[in-house]
Chain A
C-alpha cells in the first residue's frame, strides 16, 4: 500500500519537499545574514503575510480580476490563433509570407509597447486584455501550423481513400492529429498571457494582483509583495491544471 502510494504521489511529494527544502535554505541564509532581508524577506515572514494580504488587501478579489482578464485574453488567443493557424496551413503563400513575422511577434517584448496600447484603449482593463491577447497569439498560430503540417501522410491517405470531404478531413483527421502540438502552443501562449497581464497591471497600476503587488512594493512591504507573487503563481497553477483537464478530456489515450 505505502509503496503504491509513493509511486503514485511520488513526484508531487518530491516537488513539495523540494519547495519546503529551498524555503528552509533561504530562511537559514537570510537569518544568517548571507542574503539581505531587505531584498528577499525570510519565507516565514512571507507566510505570515498571507493572512494580511487576504484579509486587509483583499487579494482574492484581485486574483479574481486577474483571472478574469486571463480567461478573456487567453481564450481569445485560442479562438483567434487556431483559425489563423489553419488559414496559414491552407495557404502556402501566406504561410511563407507570415511565418517569420509571427515568429518575430512571439519573441518581441510587447510589454514595452504599453504606451501605444494605452493611447489606443485607455487606462482600462481593455488595454491589459488586448496586450495579453496579442502576446498570446503567436505561439498558438505557429504551433497550430506545425501541428497540422506534421499530420502523417498515411493518415491523410486513409482519409482520401475513404473519399472524405475537405471539412471531414479537417475535423476528423487533421485537427485531432494536430491537437497535442496545438496544446503545447496553448501552454506557451498562456504563460505569455499571464506574464503580460500581471506585468501591465503592475506597470500602469491598474486592476488585479499586478497592481496590488505594485502598491505593496511601493510601501516597502516586502513580505506582502512576495506573498502577492505567490498568488500569481497560484493563479497560473489553476489555469494549467484546468488546461490539463481539458486536454486529457479532448484526447484520451495519448
Chain B
C-alpha cells in the first residue's frame, strides 16, 4: 500500500492477526497448520493471502471468521479478540455452500431474512446482487440446476448482500473460468471501493491476487508461515485491464519467485490432487 494515496491517518487497523498459531491433533500426530502468522489489514484495504494448497489458508480463514475458537495468539477486530463469529464479518466459503432447498433469490436474501428486513426490500437488495454476479435470469432456479461456478457466485452474492464491513473470502473464484473470474473480480473491486470495505481474500491464484489487492501476504508451505508481504502499487480505480500492463507482469513474476519454492516443496511433499491445483495457480 502506498501511504501517499490513502489518508495517512494513524488509525487502528480494521483487522489484526497477531502471532497466530494453530495446531491440529495430539502427541506425535501434531500438524502445525498456522505457524506464528502476523499481519494487519487497514480499514478499506484489500489484502490477499496466497500460498500453496495445504499451507493453512482455510485454517487461518476459519480462525479470523471466529469458527475456530481455540488458537494461540490473537486475531483482533477493534479491541476485541476473536473467538466467535463477529457481526461485522461476512464470509464466503471455499466449499459449495448454497442451500439446496432455496431458490437463488431466497438463498441470497437469506441473511436479510434473518435480520428481519421486509420482504420487498430484501428481494430488491437480493436482486441487485444477483444481477451483479450475472445470474439475473436464474433467480427462481434451485442450486441443483446451476453449475459449480454459478453456485459459488450465489454464495458470493449472499455474503455481499448484507454489506459486511469486513469481507473474508476463501478461494471464492476457484470454481470459475478465467474470464468470469476477471470480470467478477472487477465487480468485487467496484463494491469494495464503493463501500470502502475491508477485504481479506484467500487464494492460490496469482493473477487474481495481484489484480485485486493492495497487499499480498505470501505464505510458506507447511508449517504455514508468512514468507513475505508485498505491496501492490498499481493505480486505483483498477480494472481487469491492468492484467496486460508491464507493472502487473512484474509483480506476478516477483511473487511467483517466492511461491515457486513453496509450491515445489508442497508438490514434493504430496502427490495429491490438491498439490496439482497449487502448481496451476
Q: Which A residues form the contact surface with B (CB < 8 A)?
A: 152, 154-155, 157-158, 160-164, 168, 172-173, 176-177, 179, 251-254
Are B144's CB and A163's CB within 8 A? no
- By a CB distance below 8 angstroms, the chain B residues around A168 are 114
Residues of chain B lying within 8 A (CB to CB) of residue A179: 101
What are 16 inter-chain pairs, A to B, with CB distance below 8 A? Answer: A155-B97, A158-B97, A161-B65, A162-B110, A162-B111, A164-B114, A168-B114, A176-B99, A177-B99, A177-B101, A252-B142, A253-B103, A253-B142, A253-B144, A254-B100, A254-B144
Q: For A161, give its contact among B91, B100, B103 (CB under 8 Å).
A: B91
Neighbouring B residues of A154 by C-beta, 8 Å: 93, 95-97
Residues of B contacting A: mostly: loop
Q: Is B93 within 8 A of A158, CB to CB? A: yes
The reply to whether the CB of B85 lies closer than 8 angstroms to some CB of chain A is: yes
Which B-chain residue is minimally distant from A252 (CB atoms)? Answer: B142
Residue contact B93 to A157, C-beta cutoff 8 Å: yes
The smallest C-beta distance from B103 to any residue of chain A, in angstroms, reads 7
B:72-107 near A, CB below 8 Å: 85, 87, 89-91, 93, 95-97, 99-103
Q: Which chain B residues have a beta carbon within 8 Å of chain A's beta carbons? A: 62, 65-67, 85, 87, 89-91, 93, 95-97, 99-103, 110-111, 114, 142-145
Q: Looking across the interface, which residue of chain A has its beta carbon closest to that of B115?
A: A162
Q: Which residue, of A152, A154, A161, A251, has the highest number of chain B Cβ atoms within 10 A?
A: A161
Which residue from chain A places its CB closest to the CB of B65 in the assembled complex? A161
Which residue of A is nearest B158, CB measured? A158
Cβ of A163: which chain B residues have Cβ within 8 Å of it?
85, 87
Q: A177-B101, A252-B101, A254-B144 are in contact. List 10 more A-B contacts (CB 8 A).
A: A154-B95, A157-B93, A160-B67, A161-B90, A162-B85, A173-B99, A176-B99, A179-B101, A253-B144, A254-B101
The distance in angstroms between the C-alpha atoms of A254 and B144, with both chains bound, is 7
The verdict on A162 contacting B101 (CB below 8 Å), with A154-B96, A253-B142 known, is no
> Which residue in chain A gives the minimum CB-CB distance to B168?
A161
Chain B contacts for A152, CB-based, 8 A: 95, 97
Closest to A179 in B: B101
A161's closest neighbor in chain B, by CB? Answer: B91
Report yes or no: A155 in contact with B99, Cβ–Cβ below 8 A: yes
Residues of chain A contacted by B66 (CB below 8 angstroms): 160-161
Nearest-neighbor residue (CB-CB) of B140 within chain A: A253
Q: Name the A residues within 8 Å of B93 (CB-CB).
A: 154, 157-158
Measured between beta carbons, the chain A residues less than 8 angstroms from B100 are 177, 253-254
Alpha-carbon gap, A179 to B87, bound state (A): 29
| Pair A161/B99 contact, Cβ less than 8 Å | no
Report chain A residues within 8 Å CB of B85: 160-163
- B89 partner residues in chain A, CB cutoff 8 A: 161
Provide the residues of chain B in CB contact with A253, threshold 8 Å.
Answer: 100-103, 142-145
B67 touches A161 (CB 8 A): yes
Q: With A177-B101, A251-B101, A253-B145 known to touch, is A162 a contact of B114 (CB < 8 Å)?
A: yes
Q: Which 3 A-B pairs have the closest CB atoms?
A: A253-B142, A161-B91, A154-B95
* Nearest-Cβ distance from residue B279 to partner chain A, whole angstroms: 25
Q: Which has the most chain B C-beta neighbours within 10 Å: A158, A164, A173?
A: A158
Chain A residues in 8 Å Cβ range of B114: 162, 164, 168, 172
In the bound complex, residues from chain B placing their C-beta under 8 Å from that of A158 are 91, 93, 97
CA of A160 to CA of B93 in the docked complex: distance in angstroms? 12
On chain B, the residues within 8 Å of A172 by CB distance are 110, 114
Bound CA–CA A43/B80 (angstroms): 79
Contacts of A173 in B (CB 8 A): 99
A76 to B183, CA, bound (A): 54
Min CB gap A171→B, angstroms: 11
- Kindly list chain B residues whose C-beta atoms are within 8 Å of the C-beta of A160: 66-67, 85
B26 to chain A, nearest CB (A): 20
Report which residue of B66, B89, B114 has the largest number of chain A beta carbons within 10 angstroms of its beta carbon: B114
Query: Which residue of the partner chain A has the closest CB to B86?
Result: A163
The minimal Cβ–Cβ distance linking B62 to chain A, given in whole angstroms, is 8
- Beta-carbon nearest neighbor of A164 in chain B: B114
Query: Which has the most chain B C-beta neighbours within 10 Å: A163, A173, A253?
Result: A253
CB distance from B215 to the nearest CB of A (A): 24
B91 surroundings in chain A (CB, below 8 A): 157-158, 161
CA distance A176 to B89 in the complex (A): 25
Nearest to A153 among chain B residues (CB) is B95
| Least CB distance, A152 to chain B, in whole angstroms | 8
CA distance A168 to B113 in the complex (A): 11
Within 8 Å CB of A161, what residues of B?
65-67, 85, 89-91
